[in-house]
Amino acid sequence: MRDDDQRLSGNGEGSLEEWFNEAIGCAPERLSVLVEGVEVETLVWGDEGAPGVLLVHGLNAHADWWSHIGPHLAQGFRVAAVTLSFAGAWRERYSYEGFANELWACAQAASLYASGRPPVYVGHSFGGSQVVYTARRFPQRLSSGILVDCGIVLPPATYRVPPAYIESEALMSRDRRYRVYETVEDAIAHYRFEPPQPCENRFIVDYVARKSLKAVQTNSGETGWTWRYDPQISSKWDLSRVEPVLETDPPPLTHVWGERSTRTAPFSDAPSILDLKRVGVPLAHHHVMLDQPVALVATLRTLLPCAR
């Protein structure tokens, strides 16, 4: 057992908040990568030349959701986390193909291919869907993929998708209007998860919430605060850029799901047209890196060496 894991298991001194703060203290290199006319934020940890790992966030999230995870994976790996354009520099249109190109460009800029082997792509929720698309459309770009609580992953056409999942998908993908708050603290007080879930680690929630805000000018000329995500991502989705996937077998994929997740737990064993390995994280809800970050790091550490 590693020293940080031992402290948190009760066999030594320390706390989860100290573990989190140590990771946040390992400031990443922050790159701005030009992809199809838009600057895409990329965070990087670890030594150049080590095997690569690319971290992809979910909907209504950003690269800093991985800021306490990346440093704990960077011992032996070159790790990068990308902020997809809808959460940073907005586009006129979005697509699976476009996001695949963002991941490709940012992985190259972060030197994730310098080891001579393609990196492992790790995607949470919506980000996992981007990993699946890349794995089937551009299998040469990654050595393997890890999907973190990604919901139903390509079930066969005969599978009856639970109505609750369909309703949840429609709710999360809708366009929305964001309120402008007078202060950062007021905005953070209104921060909510989608889908809703409990999370006792308020210091982690506070951190990602602060990183989710951007300053805007109000009608009265004052500075206000609102969420950084494009509220029209759904209506801007471009289905014309979904290219045919290759008929060859994709790289190996693993689905890591939260055993208390309302998104995946009810149908974690649903059939899939993909050859998926499945790993459950006990006590974890949908946003695994926030409510069970140590367990997620341990799970990823176990899976990553298998991809070398």
pLDDT digits (tens, 9 = 90+) for 196-245: 999 999 999 999 999 999 999 887 888 999 999 999 998 999 977 877 78
φ, ψ (nearest 5 deg) of residue 242: -90, 105
Q: How far is CA 72 from the centre of its chain?
A: 16
Q: Which two structure tokens, joined as six digits, stand for 305?
A: 């060496």
Judged against a pLDDT cut of 70, whether residue 269 lies above it is answered with yes
Of 43-52, 124-133, 173-182, 268-277, the range with the lowest mean pLDDT is 173-182
Q: Please state the domain extents for the chain.
A: 3-175+250-307
Q: Which two structure tokens, joined as six digits, stand for 144?
A: 């393997």
pLDDT digits (tens, 9 = 90+) for 130-149: 999 999 999 999 999 999 99
Q: How confident is the model at residue 172 (pLDDT cuts 50, 70, 90)?
A: low
pLDDT digits (tens, 9 = 90+) for 47-56: 999 999 999 9
Q: How confident is the model at residue 1 (pLDDT cuts 50, 70, 90)?
A: very low
Arithmetic mean of pLDDT over the chain: 91
Q: How confident is the model at residue 7 (pLDDT cuts 50, 70, 90)?
A: very low
307: Cβ–Cβ under 8 A, 6 or more apart, which residues? 51, 120, 143, 144, 252
What CA–CA distance (Å, rounded) separates 124 from 286?
9
Which tops the pLDDT comparison, 218 or 302?
Answer: 302
* CA distances from residue 5 to 14, 44, 53, 291 in whole angstroms, order as listed: 10, 23, 21, 16
138-165 mean pLDDT: 91
Judged against a pLDDT cut of 80, whether residue 279 lies above it is answered with yes
145: Cβ–Cβ under 8 A, 6 or more apart, which residues? 120, 121, 122, 123, 131, 132, 134, 135, 250, 251, 252, 253, 254
What pLDDT, on the 0 to 100 scale, is given for residue 10? 38
If we measure between CA atoms, which residue out of 73, 72, 19, 63 comes closest to residue 43? 63
Percentage with pLDDT > 90 across the chain: 75
CATH class of 3-175+250-307: alpha beta
Q: How confident is the model at residue 247 (pLDDT cuts 50, 70, 90)?
A: low
If we measure between CA atoms, which residue out of 191, 148, 128 comes closest to residue 292? 148
What CA–CA distance (Å, rounded) separates 142 from 263?
26
Judged against a pLDDT cut of 60, whether residue 94 lies above it is answered with yes
163-168 mean pLDDT: 79
φ, ψ (nearest 5 deg) of residue 52: -95, 150
If we measure between CA atoms, which residue out of 37, 9, 275, 259 comes closest to residue 135? 275
140: Cβ–Cβ under 8 A, 6 or more apart, which residues? 118
The pairing of strands 29-35 and 38-45 is antiparallel
Judged against a pLDDT cut of 90, whether residue 127 lies above it is answered with yes
Judged against a pLDDT cut of 80, whether residue 257 lies above it is answered with yes
What pLDDT, on the 0 to 100 scale, is given for residue 9? 39
